[in-house]
Structure 1
Amino acid sequence: MRRICLDGEWSLQALRVEENNYDIKDGSCFPIDMPGCVQDALIEGLVVPDPYYARNELETLFIGRSDWRISRSFNLQKTSGKTYILRLEKVDTIASLSINGSVVASFDNEHRIYEIDVTGFLKDGDNTIQFDFTSSEKVALQRQSQLDHPIPCSRYMYDSPARNLVRKAQCNAAWDWGLCMQTIGIHESILLFECECFHLSSFSAIPKRKGCDWKLQVKAYVKVFHDCEVSLRLRCAGRKIEKVVKLKETDSCFDFDMEIPSFAVELWWPNGLGEQVLYDVLFELGDYELSRKIGFRTIEVRNEMTMGGKELTVVVNGQPVFCKGANWIPLDARPCRMTAERFDSIIRDVRDSNMNMLRVWGGGWYEKEAFYDSCDRYGILLWHDLMFSCSTYPAEDWFLESVDKELRDQVRRLSSRTCIALWCGNNECLGALGWYEETRANLPLYLKDYEKLYSNWIDHILVEEDPSRMYWPSSPCAGPGDYSDNWHSDGNGDMHYWTVWHERKDFEFYHSVKPRFCSEFGYQSFPSLSEVKSFTPEDELSITSPVMEHHQRNDEGNSIINEMFTRYFRPPVGFENQLYLSQVQQAYAIKTAVTYWRSLMPYCMGTLFWQLNDVWPVSSWSSIEYSGKWKPLQYAAKRFYKDVAPLIYTDEGKVFVKVCNDGRNTFEGKCSIAFMGFDGSLVKQLESDVKVNSLEVVTVLEEDLGGFDTSSCYICVSFGDIEETLLLSRPKDAEILDPELRYSVSEDGGCFSVKIRTENPAFYVVPDAGSIKGRFDDCLFTLNGERTVKFTPEDKVSLEEFKASLKVYDLFSTLSER
């Protein structure tokens, strides 16, 4: 076997180009690096402007509405009697392939993995290979015109219509946090294999318990060109299989098992519950050598009737897991920026924030290997949606056949991944049946289409391809066959709770529901000042400027944020304070929800807020900005998702202090509770010895607030190594004093120590290093006295540069212009 990589510089040519301001005409040519996409080539070549800056997105929409050709020549020493297989992944999206002037194949699904026999099209010597791409928007509109009945989907600002009729990342067409960038290109390496009698496409290795030991179930996927005998070798955890296998021309796969005793391996655990031990699986078949890493663990998802409803509990190695985390969207709208280093960095952030699960949202794509590598490495479980979101979808044969091939390709690729906990059919497509005028007018028709796609078709494929995992029909849903309204019904399955944001309810409404598992809930904020300056000219630094509004893709986003300011905070003075306070408010909202829902454990067994990351710099629900900078919410999550943590909340005139433990071991410690005045004086103090078992919540205090002037004091609780505080009134009603906050900075072995002092308690203290990349060891805290926080930069920074960039915000400071 010989592997030939065709990556590198190719030629890009405009075929049928839409009107534009950059003198790009039919026949215009440019260089393009493959893997890559047309947008990246034109941006990097400075042919078109950066679509992330200002309103330049509108200047680049023509690219996705045009047709393009990507081609190159290569020299091949072709060997007689050999078979040549071309492997292509993430062909985006509507394209035809020609070799030496002959059409070889066509493509219409970005999520497919193609392996094409191109033997008869290649010649000895120079060869030309060419991909002609047709605008997916054009094809979507053409398909829309040919439908028997409308197939509606949700629409967004500046979007590409009928996105649901083309199998590509749905958010490429725009979302309420994302720009419209209908990428065109190929996003993985282009590989040509010269084969003897067979080609090994891939293999899976899934460990299953067999009594006290393990059975490694291995399946190899092959293309056999003629009958042959080949040597096979498998190695894992010090065990080895060597044998000769007979391959027949009719074979497409074969399987076998390896017995592994329990003493030979250690268990893989989710983050916070144990170590993430991974083992190399080395598979050799003839002259092919493939490898992957696996962890040994058992996983199940329980959906039994308990405590008055159907639970949704993830169980790993027999241990029920309270799932803590966020929703994941694609790392970037520009595929060329999705590097292994960025995946590793952000998943490490997830680990360091005491999260143990991400939900791979169904409007993106099946991720790159580096993403799953990092999740396996850092113990991050995945709730993995299939790529359908916020739409109805066709149930016609052409669509079902494409989905069949897509799912078999991707599930075979990913089934060995230790991190994947479950497959979920879609994001909000069940709920979408009630969103559109067409579906409401003929619900039986659309429900029939829905059941045909998700219950009859996809369910069958998932059971066949990966029986090791649960298939959850939709998110949210109450369970298989149950069509309850899981935006408002909280007793079964998973819930999406958007009443606070979309219906503009007070944050206390998070206490009005008791979800078994809340897989989506969120609250927006504006970006930080440094993030805003990365896309906004100085003369447009205003929430209502054209550029800032362009980077707010939720129609009511700004008004909801500002309206909630008036309910909970005193109006911030100036643009900079608006940005800061919006991020405080976001953290306040999500902490309110998580604190209460964690207190319901084990009734509630998961909270995944919306959303972790951004695809571009924008006002959104993210906890980590596009640049990688943590918002205060991410720092708050690091505390409120700690395995053993104090929980403080007020409800119906009482204050509650509880301690939760979702770790595996019993924890004992002293819980200190202090009611403090805003001048720093002690009003009342309590102390209790607390023992909290695994998956237990212990109530330490339930106190009626009738005897307190809640506008003049706050509560401070410490347990273990965590200190939490809570204002007993809404912040706008709290009679806080000027903390007279000041700070000094010193260098500390390549890091920086920031010593912050106050004369009176300061609330929501946020040190901010501006555009300097790095992280503080804490942020968004209450300070009464003196404290030092440490900043670790990613790159070398001088003390003078850090001092010039550093700011420290607090709640009182929002009352005057910065």
Structure 2
Amino acid sequence: MKFLFTYFSLFFLVHFNTFAQRFYELNSGWKCNTILKIKDSGTTISTPAYSLSDWIPAVVPGTVLTTMLENKQIPDPFIGMNNEKIPDIFKTGNDYYTYWFVKDFSESVKSGEEVWLHFRGVNYSSDIFLNGKKLNAKKHSGMFLRQSFNITSLLQKTGTNRLAVIVYPPDEVGNPNGGQGGDGAIAKNVAHQYVAGWDWIQPVRDRNTGIWDKVIIEKTGKVNIKNPHIITLVPGQRKPEGAQKPATIKVSTEVENPSNTALKGTLSFTIDGKKVSKEITIRPHSTSEITLPDLLLENPKLWWPYGYGAQHLYPSKVQFVLNGTVSDEEKINVGVREIQADWNSVTRSKQISVNGQRVFIKGGNWIISDAMLRFTDARYDAEVRFHRDMNLNLLRIWGGALTERPEFYNACDKYGILVMQDFWGSGDCNGRWTDPMKRDDQWVRRKYPDDHNLFLESAADQIKMIRNYPSLAIWCGGNEITLPQDIMLPLRDSILTKLDGTRWFVDYSNSDDMSFNSLGGNGDGPYGIQPLKRFFEYRTWPFNSEIGSVGVGDYESLERFMSKENLVAPVYNTKSKKETVDSVWDYHKYIGYGGYIEPYGKAKDLRDFGKKAQLVNYDQYRSLMEGFSAHMWDWYTGVIIWKTQNPWTSLRGQMYDYYLDPNACLYGLHNGSAPLHVMFNQADSTIMITNNTFKHQYDLMWVAKTIDMNGKETSLGQAFAEIGPSTTRMITPINNSIRELAKKEGVFLSLRLLNLDKEIVSDNLYWLPDSEGNYSGLNTIPKAEIGIKTRQVAKGKVEVTLSNPAKNPVAFFNRLSLVDPKTKKRILPVFYDDNYISVLPGENKTVVMDYTPSSQEMPLVSLEGWNVKEQFIEIK
């Protein structure tokens, strides 16, 4: 099937002497109705003359709920307690969410053409009818199994056609009883599991029933190319710069001949002006897998993860030429790179290498872009870009969700984010632990799903769909448990070996093969807020697949999905050590800050709570990544944060909210994950440098100083240093002097690295508590009057410079935003090269904001700081 084309090319015309090849989506003009009202057969409904007068507009790709929401039949389930107002399928029965979807479209056939209909995802079962004829011989099942039909002979000569699809919910919908995956029965299907509820989301009431992914019409000549496979071999240890030794490209593809006669032609692959080809004959009504001669690519431009090198992608194409005419063509962007996974005997964990260079994994756990499967190219691009901006280099696709879409992988290829792709299973539902919330015991759940053959067929299909993306680095059997042996063994030893064979397969996400767990427990976590020094001194698992902390946004983030009566700050009881929270907060899975707000002073209201929470957020995630980096290659080979995004309006584990508004977690991580970084070890009060690049860094001047609450500076020293590639080292201890300077009211600690041109290459500002552990000085710090300059440097790009006069205090923790000039509400998404910034006395800082203008009216810049007044500034 044709799903490897880039997401912005929905159809194209190739050169002369070529059939007018077209891809286009059937993504508008659909109508739907419930089977509770419609009793006619599919052969009748799919007849163009059948009346749809009382049918409603449908969202395709989408689900029953997205259609109901679009037609205002339900309230937005992401807002407040609205989800409780929507009937759950466990109580209504499956028929309530079983729907017909109908699409009228114009298409006719010219001589020599073949027309194909592709479904990239239906949840869960379906029957498909076109112009009064049923396309599938038996009911199709499986959320992840694609479908393809040659519809050439069924198209009307008039060009007027009707497609009708009946979509049935999952066979087992599960009881959403509050457990992880509800009662676990949702895992009996080959589908996603979170829809019955999890500790970060409430149940999705229709379990995402619908035509949830793209429906595509494709036109070819008499020969059809399917599932091309591109392998790039990059032997030896490479560097991002300089001339490269050759790389080998291996190409194979399936070639289909639907006609009644044998067809002879030429199959070819072209990249960077080079071409390999083979003369082949395809028997009638058959599909053959053809391997082309290897292609040697001289001096290739390589693809690297972000922070290590460029993400070069070569446009390439696979063609079949029949009688001098291009019958079919696949366009593929090829990233030339090779992934290796080796055992590190020091850490006792796997280490990942790209092009022969080991890469310290700084990752995030990704659930799904939208819990109701409302995917867009723009949202995928924005979310992956945010992860690039966090200076991360890997995303793990959690096993309770899905195989991510090609559009997601396009974004990861573009931004240099490696991907660890789980298959569909989780220890919570699939029987790893005893659980009184589950319907079946462990022995029964261990055999989930019911249809093992469907799982394997779906896995093979999804591997073919995404195996060519250079960002895909690791396959994982499932989340926190192995798949049943009669699934895992053929998947690992037969299917992946045959269909890919180039990537490491780890049997489950916290397997000893990934990270030897000599400490006991489950091999992941902790998940809650932690003392900062613990990130440095507590030795967790050497390749930790899940560790995380808090992540509540500020007031403006919270008011997007809460009513005014629910905008109430949590109240912490210092005696009981517990928080009291509003019921809507609890419903949206709030994870507590405990007593960590208190050192900044008890929150006066929700605005104050949100402001102080951002200080905690920043510190938590900066220290998390610094703590792991401090022990790079001796304790750890990687860490994957649980989790970095929310596909629902959840109040835990997020660097930005569902509406794509970043919070301070993102920028604390951006700082702590920087490729070249100077940092303060919170456990032993030493200054350290970490170098997450392949370059030896020479002649770096480190500079350390403190600034008190009135702006007075005290030098702690400076000296030249150097650091090797992919290394962390301690520079100097500052133990006693720091404690003495901070004991009264706390102090700011400024650490910087400068190059020989005196340019700052790493800049890190800490705020340290007083001897009682409180940030007492921050509550008395004087106001800072600062200068602000703005200018538009290009369309959709704004530059803001903050200037803090000498003898001022530090202008501390400033949040910048772009806002609508009328409503003063934030424009979303906006990408900042830094945020929550502080400006030292006598200095200035410049931030660049990148956004997509939606009107001719220029936005305003909003500024709000800890000791800087809130203000709105026009853009020059």
TM-score range, shorter chain: 0.7 to 0.9
| Structure 1 pair 262–454 and aligned structure 2 pair: CA distance change class (3 A) | same
Aligned ranges 1:562-601 → 2 under 5 Å: 562-566=594-598, 568-601=599-632
2:250 pairs with 1:222:
no
Cα distance in 2, alignment partners of residues 47 and 554 from structure 1:
22
Does the Cα contact within 8 Å between 1:613 and 1:625 map onto a contact in 2? Answer: yes
Does the Cα contact within 8 Å between 2:686 and 2:735 map onto a contact in 1? Answer: no
| Structure 1 pair 646–488 and aligned structure 2 pair: CA distance change class (3 A) | farther
Cα distance in 2, alignment partners of residues 548 and 44 from structure 1:
29
Q: What's the counterpart of residue 509 of structure 1?
A: 534
Aligned ranges 1:98-109 → 2 under 5 Å: 98-101=129-132, 103-105=134-136, 106-109=139-142
**Local SS of the residue matching 1:139:** coil
Amino acid at match of 1:35: P
Q: CA deviation at 1:378?
A: 1.9
Cα distance in 1, alignment partners of residues 396 and 448 from structure 2:
29
Does the Cα contact within 8 Å between 1:14 and 1:28 map onto a contact in 2? Answer: no
Q: What's the counterpart of residue 269 of structure 2?
A: 234
2:190 to 129, 147, 167: 167
Q: What's the counterpart of residue 785 of structure 1?
A: 841
**Local SS of the residue matching 1:272:** coil
Q: Deviations over 1:747-796 (max 9, x none)?
A: 32354444456843465444455523334443334444254443626256
Q: CA deviation at 1:655?
A: 0.6
Q: CA deviation at 1:615?
A: 1.2
Q: What's the counterpart of residue 464 of structure 2?
A: 412
**Local SS of the residue matching 1:315:** strand
2:827 to 769, 772, 775: 772
Q: Deviations over 1:689-732 (max 9, x none)?
A: 11101022221112443883342354321113222233444784
Q: What's the counterpart of residue 685 of structure 2?
A: 655
Q: What's the counterpart of residue 71 of structure 1?
A: 102
Q: CA deviation at 1:635?
A: 1.2
Gaps of 5+ in 1: 18-25, 145-151, 431-448, 490-494, 814-818
2:639 to 607, 624, 645: 607
2:386 pairs with 1:346:
no
Q: Deviations over 1:201-222 (max 9, x none)?
A: 2212111247953332212123
Q: CA deviation at 1:229?
A: 1.4
Q: CA deviation at 1:414?
A: 1.3
Does the Cα contact within 8 Å between 1:667 and 1:693 map onto a contact in 2? Answer: yes
Structure with the higher fraction of residues in helix conformation: 1
Does the Cα contact within 8 Å between 1:204 and 1:413 map onto a contact in 2? Answer: no
Give the TM-score normalised by the residue count of structure 2: 0.78
Cα distance in 2, alignment partners of residues 10 and 339 from structure 1:
18
2:725 pairs with 1:673:
no
| Structure 1 pair 72–691 and aligned structure 2 pair: CA distance change class (3 A) | closer
2:353 pairs with 1:315:
yes
Count of aligned residue pairs for this structure pair: 759
| Structure 1 pair 745–397 and aligned structure 2 pair: CA distance change class (3 A) | closer
Q: Deviations over 1:200-248 (max 9, x none)?
A: 2221211124795333221212344453212322211211124421113
2:239 pairs with 1:213:
no
Cα distance in 2, alignment partners of residues 47 and 418 from structure 1:
42
| Structure 1 pair 153–163 and aligned structure 2 pair: CA distance change class (3 A) | farther
| Structure 1 pair 588–276 and aligned structure 2 pair: CA distance change class (3 A) | same
Q: CA deviation at 1:409?
A: 0.8
Q: What's the counterpart of residue 774 of structure 2?
A: 733
2:663 pairs with 1:631:
yes
Q: CA deviation at 1:619?
A: 1.2
| Structure 1 pair 686–755 and aligned structure 2 pair: CA distance change class (3 A) | closer
Does the Cα contact within 8 Å between 1:200 and 1:223 map onto a contact in 2? Answer: yes
1:802 to 840, 860, 866: 860
Q: What's the counterpart of residue 189 of structure 1?
A: 214
Cα distance in 1, alignment partners of residues 277 and 495 from structure 2:
32
Q: CA deviation at 1:380?
A: 1.4
Using the TM superposition, name which of 662-671 and 715-724 deviates more: 715-724
Cα distance in 2, alignment partners of residues 530 and 70 from structure 1:
38
Cα distance in 2, alignment partners of residues 189 and 262 from structure 1:
34
Cα distance in 1, alignment partners of residues 66 and 570 from structure 2:
30
Cα distance in 1, alignment partners of residues 813 and 670 from structure 2:
15
Percent of aligned pairs with the same amino acid = 17
Q: CA deviation at 1:78?
A: 6.4
| Structure 1 pair 753–118 and aligned structure 2 pair: CA distance change class (3 A) | same
Does the Cα contact within 8 Å between 1:768 and 1:806 map onto a contact in 2? Answer: yes
Q: What's the counterpart of residue 285 of structure 1?
A: 320
Cα distance in 2, alignment partners of residues 363 and 513 from structure 1:
28
Does the Cα contact within 8 Å between 2:783 and 2:868 map onto a contact in 1? Answer: no
**Local SS of the residue matching 2:68:** helix
Q: CA deviation at 1:100?
A: 4.6
Does the Cα contact within 8 Å between 1:281 and 1:292 map onto a contact in 2? Answer: yes
Cα distance in 2, alignment partners of residues 82 and 261 from structure 1:
34
Does the Cα contact within 8 Å between 1:716 and 1:726 map onto a contact in 2? Answer: yes
2:731 to 693, 700, 712: 700
1:550 to 573, 576, 584: 584
| Structure 1 pair 584–688 and aligned structure 2 pair: CA distance change class (3 A) | same
2:33 pairs with 1:8:
no
**Local SS of the residue matching 1:57:** helix
Cα distance in 1, alignment partners of residues 519 and 157 from structure 2:
61
Q: Deviations over 1:346-400 (max 9, x none)?
A: 3233323322222222222222222111211221111222232342056379521
| Structure 1 pair 783–122 and aligned structure 2 pair: CA distance change class (3 A) | closer
Cα distance in 1, alignment partners of residues 859 and 269 from structure 2:
54
2:463 pairs with 1:402:
no
Does the Cα contact within 8 Å between 1:324 and 1:355 map onto a contact in 2? Answer: yes
Q: CA deviation at 1:282?
A: 0.7
Does the Cα contact within 8 Å between 2:784 and 2:810 map onto a contact in 1? Answer: no
Q: What's the counterpart of residue 302 of structure 2?
A: 267
Q: Deviations over 1:547-569 (max 9, x none)?
A: 964355575x35x3134434x54
Q: What's the counterpart of residue 443 of structure 1?
A: none
| Structure 1 pair 802–570 and aligned structure 2 pair: CA distance change class (3 A) | same
Cα distance in 1, alignment partners of residues 582 and 801 from structure 2:
33
Cα distance in 2, alignment partners of residues 707 and 298 from structure 1:
46
Give the TM-score normalised by the residue count of structure 1: 0.84
Cα distance in 2, alignment partners of residues 509 and 593 from structure 1:
9
| Structure 1 pair 288–662 and aligned structure 2 pair: CA distance change class (3 A) | same
Q: What's the counterpart of residue 146 of structure 2?
A: 113
Does the Cα contact within 8 Å between 1:171 and 1:364 map onto a contact in 2? Answer: yes
Cα distance in 1, alignment partners of residues 23 and 687 from structure 2:
63
Cα distance in 2, alignment partners of residues 677 and 643 from structure 1:
29
Q: What's the counterpart of residue 809 of structure 2?
A: 760
2:201 pairs with 1:178:
yes
2:545 to 508, 519, 531: 519
Q: Deviations over 1:94-134 (max 9, x none)?
A: 22223455544322211111123557866655554322222
| Structure 1 pair 388–153 and aligned structure 2 pair: CA distance change class (3 A) | farther
Cα distance in 2, alignment partners of residues 199 and 450 from structure 1:
36
Does the Cα contact within 8 Å between 2:390 and 2:666 map onto a contact in 1? Answer: yes
Please give the root-mean-square deviation of Cα atoms over the aligned residues, in Å. Answer: 3.7
| Structure 1 pair 288–96 and aligned structure 2 pair: CA distance change class (3 A) | same
Q: What's the counterpart of residue 525 of structure 2?
A: 497
Amino acid at match of 2:270: R
Q: CA deviation at 1:290?
A: 0.8
Q: CA deviation at 1:407?
A: 1.1
Q: Deviations over 1:571-608 (max 9, x none)?
A: 22211111122232122222222112101122222222
Does the Cα contact within 8 Å between 2:121 and 2:212 map onto a contact in 1? Answer: yes
1:155 to 152, 173, 179: 179
**Local SS of the residue matching 2:396:** strand
**Local SS of the residue matching 2:35:** strand
Does the Cα contact within 8 Å between 1:515 and 1:597 map onto a contact in 2? Answer: no
Cα distance in 2, alignment partners of residues 80 and 263 from structure 1:
42
